[in-house]
Amino acid sequence: MTAATELRPSAGQRLAGLARTLISPRGAVFLLLVLLLVAIAVLNPSFAEPSQFIRFIQRVAPVAIVAIGQYFVIVGGEFDLSMGSVVTAQVVIAGNLIGQDESKALPVLALMLGFGAVIGLVNGLIVSFLKVPSFIVTLGMMLALLGAVLYWTGGAATGNPADGFREIGRGGIRGIPVIDILPWSVVILVVVLALAVWFARRPFGRTIIALGDNPTTARFSGTRSWWVKTSTFMISSLSATVAGVLLVGYAGVHPSVGRGYEFTAITAVVLGGVVLGGGRGWVVAAAAGAFALEALFTLLNFAGVPSTYRDAVQGAIIILAVAYSATTFRARRRGRALEAPVVPPPGAPPPAAAPETSPASGAKTDDSPETPATPAPIPSTQRADNETKGGS
Amino acid sequence: MRRRFTVASAMVGAVALMTLAGCTTDPSVTDSSEAPESSEEASVEWFDQALFDKQNAERTVVPEGPDGQPWLQTINAELVDTAQFASTGPKKACFANASISNPWRQTGWITMNQQLKVLQDAGVISEMETRDAQDSDDTQIADIDYFIDEGNCDIFLISPNSTAAMTPAVERACDTGKPVVVFDRGVQTDCPVTFIHPIGGFAWGIDTAEFLIDNLEKGDKVVALRILPGVDVLEQRWAAAEKLFDEAGIEAVDYFTGADPAEIKKIISDELAKGDVKGIWMDAGDGAVAAIEAFEDAGADYPVMTGEDEMSFLRKWKETGLTGLAPVYSNFQWRTPLLAAQKIFAGEQVPVEWVLPQSPITAEEVDQYLALNEGMPDGHYAKFGGEDLPGYPQVWEDRVIP
Amino acid sequence: MSTATPTARRRRGRLDSSLVVGIALVVVIAIGAVLVATVGRNFFSPGNIRDILTGMSVLGFVAIGQTLVVLCASLDLSVLYVISLSSLIAADLMAGNPANIPLALAASLGVAGLIGLANGLIVTKLKVNGFIATLGTGLIIKGFLDSNYKGTSGDVPMEFRLIGATGLGPVPVSTILMLAVAVLVWLFLSRTRTGHHIYAVGGNEQVARLSGIRTARPVIVAHVLCSMSAALAGLLLASRSGVGNPTFGAQGGYDLLSIAAVVLGGTLLLGGRGSVWGTIGGVAIFAVVDNVMSVMQVNPFLKDVVRGIVIVAAVAVYASRSVERRRPRFDGGGAPPPAPSPATAEPAASAEPASAEGGVR
């Protein structure tokens, strides 16, 4: 609260604020990401070369895009387990319908986007009107969609689609100085991320968060909740479609492409500090979660960790990351003396946590309207309601 | 809280008691008496010198049997009399399939159904009832039990989902007195009339490792891409290859990929970032194209590579002109069980262990197999052996899965 | 805050819930019997009934445990690997010797209990969402399994195999055991304080805490019991196949399937309402659908399509019946147990500024 009175925080204060944000739950994913990248670069210096690094971004792009889509569903208080199957379905559709005929690429791409939207629409409508929990709806969709695709193709697609179409996920703009090649995937990721940030800041995007935070309030305030909810599912299916387009280029057609993406995406989103159950989270952090996850895998590869241990490390990191953010949140809440005294865990002393909140939220009021991409505007109070209130 | 423990421990105790009580109930379903034989499975090492030597020798044996019909050929066959099963008239076959969850099994399943049509027209088989276990041991055990109770089966065809776990159920099928034919993965009992399989995983490992060793220098690095751990037919391939790489001083690192091409591409990219990769070894051909593309995208020289006789790999191999070998886990074995049924009902002798030929496709043969299988989908297997069956090539091109 | 739900309506709601599951099961059986008859088979033949009941046993064990966890508004995705691990521990320790059976049972149930304890502690003390916590522990166990076991292992002696292979008439012993566990869990939920607290905590943790319940305890107990019943499923699989297998759990996809069965049985995914018998009904629906599809020799890929549609359609039927019952958030102790009204009675009295924990489960 003290910082809020100062209109122009000095550079030092900004830096301190940034540092605090980094160790705050929402910033932690960026810190984790940086640490992982540095560790990779130490183990394998060539990774830090721009041309290698851009390849890394290219590789993460599909996961990050899926995570961005999943973010909207989760922040709206739901799950989408069907994303992996949507990716697989789209990959197979591309392989079978485009074939070697490049002229079909555009119509089929349109068809794929339409198909993705329909899947999301179906998910959303069933969740909204038949009142079936999204976990169940999308689980059913996951089974049914994958089964249908395999049935249609006899288990294996005819073959890879035309090279021109695959160029989207595989190729890029060549001959660029430092980075050598700018993969289309990276361009698409940036566009998707920018769209997502823009969308999340619009009133509609804020309504999603409000709905996930407290459906009853959102309904009373006149939200057409069915449409908001349905649109989140359409966003996630469409993002899975985009990821499918990238993956069919990057990897090719196989029924196992996209397998497990739903869990990877949820993991990434949660690593990004987004709270399952809805109402809180920042889309950029969700994308950063995807990068952190992939960086972790890469690090384990470079460190020569046997691939069988990879899962175990991943599991431990997820739990620790979420536990860190959850316990920090709690500590902060206690710092603000809002919570009745409940047995505190030893790891999170309230005095250290208390001052953390106010300066960061002060920084938020300063510059949240104009700078979208800096970590500062992350609302670091334990809920996102200031953000949502600001919208309405 | 004390109550909680009381309840919990009471539950545990009760369950344990009931479990023990369960043992004394009437064994209305008789399990066969065999029990202690399977103790060797406790070992976790897949390498088996005796089996390695046997399969190594079988690679060079000239198979016996009709020319041009490898699915009827045998290697070192030890014949068994089947006169007691001889019988006329169309018979009902019951097929407990592990799954059709990968392109190799799908291709074989299509071939098997076309073979079935031939035998149905010939009046040998009346119908084949199939239960697909969708990769689950438990389901397949239940499937076999269902066949025993309700199937009215004249012969059991079983493609086990896993070797050890399926043994008790297969024994129960044997106990019915009806002939049992096991193929692909085996079981730990010799009660089936015949066990049909290609030479095996060690032979695959030897073929591929020798090829890579011949084409690489000592100290070169080979990346081994494996689908998943714990499946014997796959583990044996790697066990043999790993041993030979070790002896030859080839540096080999192995990864599990889940057959996901995206995963494969990431692994190869990371390996290329670490240093030169001279060779790629695969325990199955799925995703071979992604591996090759990873070299293209990184601007590295093509590796020496072993894939499989899957069309995607053969096509990419031809297109890139890399030094390669396509080992084969003979897909035509899917025809053999039904043909074995025909022989058994005719009272003809069949091998106890029906070892089918398994020879890799070499650089000289690629063109031939590519021409033979032109128009087939990428997930098709070149040595599927169904060229003389009805529906060829349309059924395989369209991948018509019953 | 619609705290004032009259008990009468609640009772009707509860009746409805189990009734709907029962009706759904009967409908599925009727349709199944007709379909099976069209291919010249008898749905009610002993062999077919045995096939259905066998299909219920393993998933039943897992789903019973999952019910407890879901009632607490948590989830357990680690059951998959607990199943595999317990089958391996048991089969390895038995090593073909009947004398080792008690030790093997104790060890695998004990290890599973510890895993459940870890899950429960992570969920309650570290405040990690159950979905993520158990996803994480599941991955850790998976890493352990993949690194230490290469394929099937161990040897289950004949005496223990009989459990999986024996039947009283068409009813497998394994199904009887599963139902016995269901009875125990039902008693636990309806007769013990911890059982009531599970409903209370699942209904609304905040309210439960403010009304004096130590909210961590029921959640931990539920997780421990869930892992242990998953271990029972693993033991049954070991008994049926004679070995332990690191992929038993994954083969059956028991994590998502058990959650689906629980929800199919009318238990709310948000917690606080549901019953074990509903879950058994949900498991039975799955088993019948699977059985009918297998008898009809449906293409395996289409089987998944049908399963997906059945899951969504069945839950949609319940949901549409209970739309208005879902809304009251403070109706925590509503379902089977007769007593838990303290949870519903107190919130107004202790209306602290309960710092909004809206989304956190």
| Residue A312 dihedral angles phi and psi, to the nearest 5° | -60, -45
- C-alpha distances (whole Å) from A291 to each of A31, A56, A88, A277, A384 are 12, 9, 21, 22, 23
Give yes or no for residue B125 having a pLDDT over 80: yes
Give yes or no for residue C7 having a pLDDT over 50: no
Sorting pLDDT into bands at 50, 70 and 90, what band is C360? very low
Give yes or no for residue A71 having a pLDDT over 60: yes
Give yes or no for residue B3 having a pLDDT over 50: no
Q: Specify the residue for token string 């990419």.
A: B316
Q: Specify the residue for token string 């046993």.
A: C57
Mean pLDDT of chain A: 80
Average pLDDT of span A104-119: 96
Minimal C-alpha gap between B293 and chain A (Å): 8
Percent of chain B with pLDDT over 90: 74
Sorting pLDDT into bands at 50, 70 and 90, what band is C100? very high
Tally of CB atoms within 10 A around C186? 19
Sorting pLDDT into bands at 50, 70 and 90, what band is A122? very high
Over residues A322-334, the pLDDT tens digits come to 888 777 766 655 5
* C166: chain B residues, CB-CB within 8 Å: 22, 25-29
| Residue A175 dihedral angles phi and psi, to the nearest 5° | 75, 20
Q: Find the CB nearest B168 among C153, C161, C177.
A: C161
Decide: helix, strand or coil at residue C266. coil
Question: Is B230 in contact with C301 (Cβ distance < 8 A)?
Answer: no
What is the model's pLDDT at position B22? 35
What is the model's pLDDT at position A22? 67
Name beta bridge partners: A337. none
Fill in the amino acid letter for B244. L
CA gyration radius, chain B: 23
Minimal C-alpha gap between B58 and chain C (Å): 26
Question: Is C162 in contact with B149 (Cβ distance < 8 A)?
Answer: no
Question: Is B230 in contact with C242 (Cβ distance < 8 A)?
Answer: no
Interface of A with B (CB under 8 A): 44, 46-47, 52, 55, 59, 62, 151, 153-160, 170, 247, 250-254, 256-257, 259, 297-298, 301-302, 307-308
Chain centroid to Cα B126, Å, comes to 27
Mean pLDDT of chain B: 87
Residue C147 resides in a domain: yes
CB of B377 within 8 Å of a chain A CB? The answer is: yes
- C-alpha distances (whole Å) from B205 to each of A60, A76, A267, B56, B236 are 34, 51, 37, 10, 7
Tally of CB atoms within 10 A around B8? 18
Q: Find the CB nearest C165 among B8, B31, B42.
A: B31
Give yes or no for residue A20 having a pLDDT over 90: no
Q: How many domains does chain A have?
A: 1
What is the model's pLDDT at position A17? 74
Residue A20 resides in a domain: no
Instruction: List the subunits that have 3+ CB pairs under 8 angstroms with C.
Output: A, B
What is the model's pLDDT at position C321? 66
Give yes or no for residue B148 having a pLDDT over 70: yes
Instruction: List the subunits that have 3+ CB pairs under 8 angstroms with B.
Output: A, C
Average pLDDT of span A133-148: 94
- C-alpha distances (whole Å) from C144 to each of B267, C95, C141 are 22, 21, 5
Q: How many domains does chain C have?
A: 1
What is the model's pLDDT at position A110? 96
What is the model's pLDDT at position A334? 52
Cα gap B217→B243, rounded to integer Å: 17
Length of chain C: 361
- C-alpha distances (whole Å) from B331 to each of A74, B311, B388 are 45, 13, 15
- A350 exposed, middle or buried (CB, 10 Å; 0-12, 13-18, 19+)? middle
* C263: chain A residues, CB-CB within 8 Å: 133, 135-136
Q: Find the CB nearest B258 among A44, A52, A259.
A: A259
Question: Is C155 in contact with B42 (Cβ distance < 8 A)?
Answer: yes
Name the CA dihedral angle for C55, C60, C66, C70, rounded to a multiple of 10 degrees: 100
CATH (one of 3.40.50.150, 3.40.50.1100, 3.30.1330.10, 3.40.50.2300) for B77-199+330-351? 3.40.50.2300
* C323: chain A residues, CB-CB within 8 Å: 131
Give yes or no for residue C16 having a pLDDT over 80: no
* A278: chain C residues, CB-CB within 8 Å: 359
How many Cβ pairs closer than 8 A exist between chain A and B?
94
Residue intervals in chain B for CATH 3.40.50.2300: 77-199+330-351, 201-325
* A268: chain C residues, CB-CB within 8 Å: none
The whole domain housing A134 covers 49-350
Tally of CB atoms within 10 A around B256? 19
Tally of CB atoms within 10 A around A148? 17
Instruction: Write the CB contacts of B336 (distance below 8 Å, at least 6 apart in sequence).
Output: B71, B72, B183, B196, B354, B356
* A151: chain B residues, CB-CB within 8 Å: 401
Instruction: Write the CB contacts of A295 (distance below 8 Å, at least 6 apart in sequence).
Output: A33, A36, A37, A40, A56
Cα gap C98→C156, rounded to integer Å: 8
Average pLDDT of span B287-297: 93
What is the model's pLDDT at position B31? 40
Question: Is B399 in contact with A153 (Cβ distance < 8 A)?
Answer: yes
Give yes or no for residue C298 having a pLDDT over 60: yes
* B45: chain C residues, CB-CB within 8 Å: 150
Q: Quote the tokens at residue B329.
A: 């886990």
Residue C189 resides in a domain: yes
Minimal C-alpha gap between A119 and chain C (Å): 14
Mutation pick from B2, B6, B15, B37 vs chain C, by most beta carbons of C within 10 Å, is B15
How does DSSP assign C32-80, residue by residue?
Answer: HHHHHHHTT--TTSHHHHHHHHHHHHHHHHHHHHHHHHHHTT----THH
Going by the DSSP 8-state scheme, the letter that residue A236 receives in this structure is H
Question: Is C126 in contact with A319 (Cβ distance < 8 A)?
Answer: yes
Mutation pick from B274, B320, B331 vs chain A, by most beta carbons of A within 10 Å, is B274
- Please report, for the domain that includes residue A143, its CATH number: 1.10.3470
Q: Find the CB nearest A312 among C131, C144, C320.
A: C144
Question: Is A322 in contact with C308 (Cβ distance < 8 A)?
Answer: no
How many Cβ pairs closer than 8 A exist between chain B and C?
199
What is the model's pLDDT at position A333? 53
Cβ(B226)–Cβ(B288) under 8 Å?
A: no
CB of A178 within 8 Å of a chain C CB? The answer is: no
Give yes or no for residue A172 having a pLDDT over 90: no
Residue C324 resides in a domain: yes
Residue C228 resides in a domain: yes
Residue A270 resides in a domain: yes
Question: Is A315 in contact with C302 (Cβ distance < 8 A)?
Answer: no
Residue A135 resides in a domain: yes
Q: Find the CB nearest B399 among A154, A301, A302.
A: A154
Average pLDDT of span A115-140: 94
Question: Is B132 in contact with C160 (Cβ distance < 8 A)?
Answer: no
Residue C96 resides in a domain: yes
Q: Specify the residue for token string 């183990």.
A: A43
Cβ(C153)–Cβ(C90) under 8 Å?
A: no
Terminal CA-to-CA distance of chain C, rounded, Å? 18
Cα gap A316→A309, rounded to integer Å: 11
Give yes or no for residue A238 having a pLDDT over 90: yes
What is the model's pLDDT at position C241? 92
- C-alpha distances (whole Å) from B365 to each of B67, B316, B360, B369, C69 are 18, 15, 9, 6, 59
Interface of A with C in 83-112 (CB under 8 A): none
CB of B282 within 8 Å of a chain A CB? The answer is: no
Peptide bond preceding A203 in cis form (omega within 30 of 0): no
Question: Is B378 in contact with A257 (Cβ distance < 8 A)?
Answer: no
CB of A311 within 8 Å of a chain C CB? The answer is: yes
Over residues B206-242, the pLDDT tens digits come to 999 999 999 999 999 999 999 988 788 889 999 999 9
CB of B265 within 8 Å of a chain A CB? The answer is: yes
Sorting pLDDT into bands at 50, 70 and 90, what band is B33? very low
Higher pLDDT, C172 or C318: C172
Q: Quote the tokens at residue A253.
A: 């057609």
Instruction: List the subunits that have 3+ CB pairs under 8 angstroms with A.
Output: B, C
Minimal C-alpha gap between C316 and chain A (Å): 5
* C135: chain A residues, CB-CB within 8 Å: 263, 266-267, 315, 318
Q: Quote the tokens at residue B233.
A: 């037919």
**For A158, nearest residue in chain B (alpha carbons):** B377
Give yes or no for residue C18 having a pLDDT over 90: no
Minimal C-alpha gap between C261 and chain B (Å): 17
Residue A240 resides in a domain: yes
Going by the DSSP 8-state scheme, the letter that residue B71 receives in this structure is G
Over residues C39-68, the pLDDT tens digits come to 989 999 999 999 999 999 999 999 999 999
Decide: helix, strand or coil at residue B386. coil
Sorting pLDDT into bands at 50, 70 and 90, what band is A215? confident
Helices (H), C193-345: 193-203, 205-210, 216-241, 248-252, 254-264, 276-295, 300-321, 323-326, 341-345
Fold classified for B201-325: Rossmann fold (3.40.50)
Minimal C-alpha gap between B256 and chain A (Å): 7
Question: Is C260 in contact with A136 (Cβ distance < 8 A)?
Answer: yes
**For C88, nearest residue in chain B (alpha carbons):** B42
CB of A212 within 8 Å of a chain C CB? The answer is: yes
- The tally of CA atoms less than 13 A away on the side-chain side of residue C189 is 33
- C-alpha distances (whole Å) from B285 to each of B202, B259, B324 are 16, 9, 12
Q: Which of A236-250, B47-61, C317-331 has the lowest mean pLDDT?
A: C317-331
* B25: chain C residues, CB-CB within 8 Å: 162, 166, 168, 173
A277 backbone φψ class: left, alpha, beta (φ>0; ψ -120 to 50):
left
Residue C154 resides in a domain: yes
* C217: chain B residues, CB-CB within 8 Å: 1, 4
Sorting pLDDT into bands at 50, 70 and 90, what band is A209? confident
How does DSSP assign A192-213, residue by residue?
Answer: HHHHHHHHHHSHHHHHHHHHHH
Instruction: Write the CB contacts of B191 (distance below 8 Å, at least 6 apart in sequence).
Output: B32, B170, B171, B174, B180
Over residues A363-391, the pLDDT tens digits come to 333 333 333 333 333 333 333 333 332 22
The whole domain housing C92 covers 7-345
Question: Is B273 in contact with A52 (Cβ distance < 8 A)?
Answer: yes
Q: Quote the tokens at residue A377.
A: 């505007």
Q: Which of A148-162, A184-198, A240-254 has the lowest mean pLDDT?
A: A148-162
- Please report, for the domain that includes residue C227, its CATH number: 1.10.3470
